Structure 1
Amino acid sequence: MATGLDDTRTWPDLAIGLYDRLTGRGAEIIYDFENFELFVPSSASDQATHARWKMNGTLKIRTRDREQG
């Protein structure tokens, strides 16, 4: 596992980094789920507990810059 200073260490850092890379590029990410199970950690630590999420359907993530003015 990398330990450089620029490593993402928290879930908010990961979300911010993803948004920063996509904003202004007209990006859209679409996921389709069918009986998909995801175990979401409560933190980024090795001892994190996990919540079980079940997903069916479509999740769309779109980014756009705010209009200046």
Structure 2
Amino acid sequence: MSKTQENIQSWPDLAIGLYEKLTGKGAIITYHFEDFSLGVPKEVGDSETFTTWKMNGKLKISTSEK
């Protein structure tokens, strides 16, 4: 496991790492979802209660550096 991967401990850490890697490279990431469901914890930590996010369609993420 690389040093960068060892520092990733949360979704925000992953997003920051991805942004830092792609910024200035004109990267575009496109996700297509069809009847996709995701259980998201309602609280930070060891939550046993989840809310369901349902997705249909396209999510496009692009980066740029000013």
- Please give the range of the TM-score, normalised by the shorter of the 2 chains: 0.7 to 0.9
Calculate the TM-score normalised by the size of structure 1.
0.71
How many residue pairs align between the two structures?
62
Equivalent residues in 2 for 1:5-24, closer than 5 Å:
6-24=6-24
2:22 aligned partner, one-letter code: L
Where does residue 29 of structure 2 map in the other structure?
Answer: 29
Match of 2:58 in 1: 58
| Pairwise CA RMSD | 2.3
Can you give the 5+ residue segments of structure 1 that lack an aligned partner in the other structure? none
SS of 2:7's equivalent? Answer: coil
Unaligned runs of 5+ in 2: none
TM-score of the superposition, structure 2-length normalised?
A: 0.74
Percent identity over paired residues: 52
Moved over 3 A (4+): none
Cα distance between partner residues in 1 of 2:60 and 2:29: 6
- For residue 40 of structure 1, report the CA deviation from its aligned partner: 1.9
The answer for the alignment partner of 1:40 in structure 2 is 40
Give 1:61 deviation, angstroms.
Answer: 0.3
